[in-house]
Structure formats: structure tokens, C-alpha cells
A and B are shown apart, each in its own frame.
Chain A
Amino acid sequence: ETGVTQTPRHLVMGMTNKKSLKCEQHLGHNAMYWYKQSAKKPLELMFVYSLEERVENNSVPSRFSPECPNSSHLFLHLHTLQPEDSALYLCASSLRGGGTEAFFGQGTRLTVV
């Protein structure tokens, strides 16, 4: 248990569905991240939030929409996804300022059918 909780753990959705992934941390961190992990690819950074402000959008398609309502919660809203979006989506958090490790959640295994 890292202190970062993601729900759901598994999600199967159709290409016309709308769903949301949730991430929650109570570590007192003030930066949160979404990563995508596909087979045979390195972890890809998608979004970075620092003090609830988005500071990086790593060329992610608009069908992925992040939301950070407060420093403890992070969402990833999904709509009209493609099968190639099937992957493990990982949330992480850290202290703002750099130079400290990020803590990861267990991830949401997403399958788009």
C-alpha cells in the first residue's frame, strides 16, 4: 500500500462510453500525475498537476480529460476512446519542488472494446 488509491482497478468500456478514473492520495502531496503504461512501451507521462493547476499536457488526445478538484484527488475522464487506448493507467503523487520520489497507485487496467 503506497498511500495512492486508484479506482476502479479494472474497467471495460465501449468506444462510445464515457467513464472516469479516480485517484486519491492522503500523503500530503501537492503534485499529481497520470501515466499510461502499454505493453512493450515505457511509462508515458500524460498530465502533471502542481498545486491543482495543470502544468503539463504531454500531447494527449482530447478524448482524455483530467480534473484535479483538490490536492488529494485526481480524475481522468474518458470518452470516445479507441481500442489502442487500452492500457494500464497509473496515478502518482509527490511533493512539489522536485527531488523526491513519486508514489504510484496500483493502476486501472482499461480495456476498450
Chain B
Amino acid sequence: GESVGLHLPTLSVQEGDNSIINCAYSNSASDYFIWYKQESGKGPQFIIDIRSNMDKRQGQRVTVLLNKTVKHLSLQIAATQPGDSAVYFCAENRRVQGAQKLVFGQGTRLTINP
């Protein structure tokens, strides 16, 4: 199937805490995944990606974990800041005649409480 799903539509965390956003995908053949952040009034912004030959990838304050056995993806944000408040989307990247087809999940709205 083509579904990419998210476990929770909203998440609230205290400033400074760590947050974890989860995502489930259904296509076991998918080999590339992306996390996007979308702030109000803006387009989705790339955060981090991971290929299926990896289990973990780290960026600046963000870590993506991939569990292919259960088809699960997570985004960890360390020491959250007010600027992290946004909607986060996971996307499954498929190919269509050389280009790419991003299948997005519903999105999780992350709210950082002061």
C-alpha cells in the first residue's frame, strides 16, 4: 500500500525536554525516508533523511531511527526550543520514471511549552 501513517496528531513538550515523533510506513520496499518540518505559512522544510541500509542518523539536535522489521520511523529532537514548534511530516520517497514521489503522513503538530 501507499500509506504512511503517524501515531499521534499532536504532541506537547516542555522547553528543554526531548521529543520523539513517530511514523509508521507500510511499503517494505521503500528505501529512503525524509522528515520535514512545516511552520505556519511556510512550505515543508527538510530536516533529515535516512536510507534503508541505515538504522540511525544524527544531525544537529535531531536523530532519525529506522526500524525496518516493524516498518517504523522516529524523529528525536533534543533540548527542544520554541522554534521547534511546527508540524512534522515523515515522507516515504519512491521513484517514478527517474523522479521522486513523496508519500506523506498526516503530520504531527509539536508544541513547545515555556
8 A Cβ contacts from B37-57 to A: 41-46, 49, 51
Q: Which of B11-19, B59-67, B73-81, B99-107 contacts A (4 or more CB under 8 A)?
A: B99-107
Alpha-carbon distance between A86 and B32 when the two chains are bound, in angstroms: 31
Known: A42-B107, A48-B101, A101-B49. A2 touches B96 (CB 8 A): no
The total of interchain contacts (Cβ-Cβ below 8 angstroms) comes to 83
Q: Are A50 and B89 in contact (CB under 8 A)?
A: no
Summarize B's interface: helix, strand, loop or mixed: strand
Please, how many residues of chain A have a CB less than 8 angstroms from a CB on the other chain? 31
Write out the residue numbers on chain B whose beta carbons fall within 8 Å of the beta carbon of A56.
96-97, 99, 101
Closest residue on chain B to residue A49 by CB atoms? B99
A interface with B by C-beta (< 8 Å):
2, 4, 6, 31, 33, 35, 41-43, 45, 48-51, 55-56, 90, 92, 94, 96-107
A-B contact pairs, 25 of them (CB 8 A): A6-B43, A31-B100, A33-B100, A35-B102, A42-B89, A42-B105, A42-B106, A43-B89, A45-B101, A45-B103, A48-B96, A55-B97, A55-B98, A92-B102, A96-B99, A98-B93, A98-B95, A98-B99, A99-B100, A101-B34, A102-B100, A104-B36, A104-B45, A105-B43, A106-B42
